[in-house]
A and B are shown apart, each in its own frame.
Chain A
């Protein structure tokens, strides 16, 4: 009779604990997940996401850890091949202004994997007011080829390991001339 009572009390305590834990987990889930979802058009991806199916030069390109791709600025040194100066010289020497009249920002985003290979490219074309505006195809292809074929991009070294990272190169172009390479 007494044992039965003890079991009953233990059962009640256990039940209360389980309910409390379930409430805690449910509350946490609601606060940090459900309650953060917008009612209209929630984002389906992170802001930096590049769709592998639509990206350029993604075939045969592999990232080392798909679930953790850092940002180029997570470490102080910029990951350009041969440093920023080296990359700028490479571009300025190779780029030819074939009487282009375009002005704007040609931005090329991509991933540098943990081995220093680059792939999964996407191009954004905007005018100098940062509004979408197409560039001359030849100019675009020339800068895309030069950027994607540059050798020696540096993988980001973070938490004691070389890691994948998102990178972008923004070419500020005025009347067909490259006036700035950012970042």
Chain B
């Protein structure tokens, strides 16, 4: 009987020790179970909310609770929730918010303001929300604003830094494409061509976008036959999926088959 009692007490103590997780550990455990459910589903958002109840400073959960609203077109629900995450980790969430303003709201100015703020928050470090430098994203924002000089300046900064630190083959290829488009818009066809060539060089000569812009330049230079061949190539590239696009939303300056066909007709 005495032995049984000892055994029972030992088990009870063990359970007590095991259940002494910190608030954060308990919140993380609930969060991990919640995200087994599809994003935005009732059980998912309830579980994530529960995790934030257990630990209201658990930034990942606070942020995650906003994401489904972002992707589903409910900005009035996304923003207040997202901004709670900003209060908990502004260094990570401000440049990230810039990325979201850029793609999900096409608010280039707000996006730039957030990317600029990240320069102040981390003066000796270039932030890279969603895997790309804020300079790359600013290049895109300024292109969206049709401020081509600033767009080129930021793409220069991004590309040169990347070349210096890792080599040209580490540069995100669409930086060449977008810098090419910015040059194209300013009428600097020579620089534009160099950038489109780079885009093609690093994408195994497969890019409907680069070929589409190159064909326009060739047409402008009177090289109609070369332009015709190139637009045919661009159509082929597009048909096998080699065109600039992104998940969830249309990308900036997205090229469509009808654009390619229109140029083809123009060249006839």
Write the residues of chain A forming the contact surface with B, with a CB cutoff of 8 angstroms: 31-33, 35-40, 42-48, 71, 73, 76, 78, 83-86, 105, 107, 109, 124, 126, 128-132, 166, 168-170, 172, 179-180, 182-183
B256 touches A38 (CB 8 A): no
Closest 3 CB pairs of A and B: A168-B73, A36-B47, A183-B249
Residues of B close to A36: CB separation below 8 A = 30, 33-34, 43, 46-47, 50
**Residues in A neighbouring B43, C-beta threshold 8 A:** 32-33, 36
Q: Which residues of B contact A35 (CB under 8 A)?
A: 30, 33, 50
* Complex CA–CA separation, A177 to B172 (angstroms): 34
CB–CB A43/B33 < 8 A: no
**Given the contacts A32-B36, A38-B50, A182-B105, A47 and B250 also touching, CB distance less than 8 Å:** no
B positions within 8 Å CB-CB of A: 30, 33-34, 36, 40-43, 45-47, 49-50, 53, 68-69, 71-79, 104-107, 245, 247-250, 254, 256-259
Contact of A84 among B69, B247, B254 (CB under 8 A): B254
Contacts of B68 in A (CB 8 A): 47-48
Give A105 to B69 CA distance when docked, in angstroms: 15
Q: A71-B71, A84-B254, A85-B256 are in contact. Are A44 and B53 (CB under 8 A)?
A: no
Q: What's the least CB distance linking A170 to chain B, in Å?
A: 6
**CB atoms of B53 and A32 under 8 A apart:** no
Contact B248 A183 (CB under 8 A): yes
Question: A180–B256 Cα gap in the complex (Å)?
Answer: 17
Q: Say whether B105 contacts A105, CB under 8 Å.
A: yes
Q: Which residues of A contact B248 (CB under 8 A)?
A: 73, 183
Q: State the CA gap A73–B246 with chains docked (Å).
A: 11
Chain B residues with CB below 8 A from A105, complex form: 75, 105
Min distance, Cβ A82 to any Cβ of chain B, angstroms? 9
What is the CA–CA distance of A35 and B41 in the complex, to the nearest angstrom?
16
Report A-chain residues with C-beta under 8 Å of the C-beta of B256: 83-85
Q: In the bound complex, do residue B33 and residue A47 qualify as a contact, i.e. CB atoms below 8 Å apart?
A: no
Besides the contacts A32-B43, A47-B41, what 13 more A-B pairs have beta carbons closer than 8 Å? A35-B50, A36-B33, A37-B46, A42-B49, A46-B40, A48-B40, A76-B245, A85-B256, A105-B105, A109-B74, A130-B79, A182-B250, A183-B248
Q: Beyond A71-B71, A84-B256, is A130–B46 a contact (Cβ under 8 Å)?
A: no
Chain A neighbourhood of B34, CB < 8 A: 36
Question: Which residues of the partner chain B approach A170 to less than 8 Å between Cβ atoms?
Answer: 73, 75, 105
| B255: min CB distance to chain A, Å | 10
- What's the least CB distance linking A30 to chain B, in Å? 10
Q: Is B49 within 8 A of A38, CB to CB?
A: yes
Can you list 17 A-B pairs, Cβ within 8 angstroms, ordered by A?
A: A36-B34, A36-B46, A36-B50, A37-B46, A38-B46, A40-B53, A44-B42, A45-B42, A46-B40, A46-B45, A47-B45, A130-B75, A131-B79, A132-B76, A168-B73, A172-B107, A179-B106
